[in-house]
Amino acid sequence: MSSLRATLLGTGTSTGVPVIGCSCTVCTSEDPRDNRLRCSAYIVAETDEGPIHLVIDTGPDLRQQALRYGVEKVDGVLYTHHHFDHIVGVDDLRPYCFSPRTSIPCYANEETADSLRGTHGYIFKDGTYPGIVKLSLHEIDGPFSVGSRYGHNGSVTVIPVPARHGDMDVLGFRIGRFAYLTDVNAVTEESFALLADVEVLILDGLRETPHQTHFTFAEATAVAQRVAARETYFIHMTHTVLHAEMNAQLPEGIQLAYDGLTLYVEGE
């Protein structure tokens, strides 16, 4: 892989920001960085043979995110976990099966795969309904590679980074020197090792006050400082977070992400 471009398609918590019916300062802010769709990312990794296009999670905003940020091709989908705000847009992958008509590989840990088969059995178990989105589900517990659906022989290696989200096992993902961990409140020693030498880290940072399943900014900052990436960006923020105000308080090298933020990372 020679280089990688990552676009953050959404950086908000499960309700999105603004929250329906809320008139707080953040929900009525005119700063576009305070407008947060549900978390998802689009990664285009360049190989010598051609680009590989990956989507991380398919939340409820996937369609408008794909249109807004030009998600033109998908070679594979990486699932972090099976909460609503990370999976429910799965049907919006359908247009990527119009051409080529091959199925899209989806990668998930056992718990997420089991849940997807339950909630979306018509896709992941039956799959015979006409015109259905064609997805192939792969349970993963170690590094795997994703090839192209668009006719070249390039591929990228993805390293799952296990973490905890309350009592749930979730996955972060590392691709080259880029890593993405949403919906986490604990990172194991093994996973810190997997994050060594990452240049750009995307990390869950929900808000300032404690939460049972997400990092606060203080907790996320401690993790970020230990990983010591060149740049860290927090995602999954609630409507208690005014971008301009909070971002100014974060230590050097750590910032709040915002929808549409695009990051470039050189290859290994």
> Where do contacts with Zn ion occur on this chain (CB under 5 A)?
83, 85, 183
Q: Cβ 266 to Zn ion, closest distance in Å?
A: 29
185-188: long-range contacts at Cβ-Cβ below 8 A with a sequence spacing of 24 or more?
A: 185/211, 185/212, 185/213, 185/214, 185/215, 185/219, 187/161, 187/163, 187/223, 188/162, 188/163, 188/164
Q: Cβ 17 to Zn ion, closest distance in Å?
A: 13
192 touches 165 (CB < 8 A): no
Nearer to Zn ion, 83 or 174 (CB): 83
Question: Which residues on neighbouring strands pair with residue 196, listed in sequence order?
Answer: none
Nearer to Zn ion, 81 or 177 (CB): 81
Q: Cβ 164 to Zn ion, closest distance in Å?
A: 11
Per-residue burial over 20-35, b if 16 or more Cβ lie within 10 Å, else e, is eeeeeebbebeeebbb
Nearer to Zn ion, 36 or 83 (CB): 83
Q: Cβ 85 to Zn ion, closest distance in Å?
A: 4
Nearer to Zn ion, 42 or 51 (CB): 42
Is the previous residue joined to 100 through a cis bond, with omega within 30 degrees of 0? yes
Q: Cβ 72 to Zn ion, closest distance in Å?
A: 25
Nearer to Zn ion, 34 or 85 (CB): 85
φ, ψ for residue 204 (rounded to 5)? -60, 125
Nearest residue to Zn ion, by Cβ distance, number only: 83
Nearer to Zn ion, 83 or 239 (CB): 83
Q: Cβ 244 to Zn ion, closest distance in Å?
A: 24
> CA of 57: how far to CAs of 31, 41, 199, in Å?
26, 7, 22
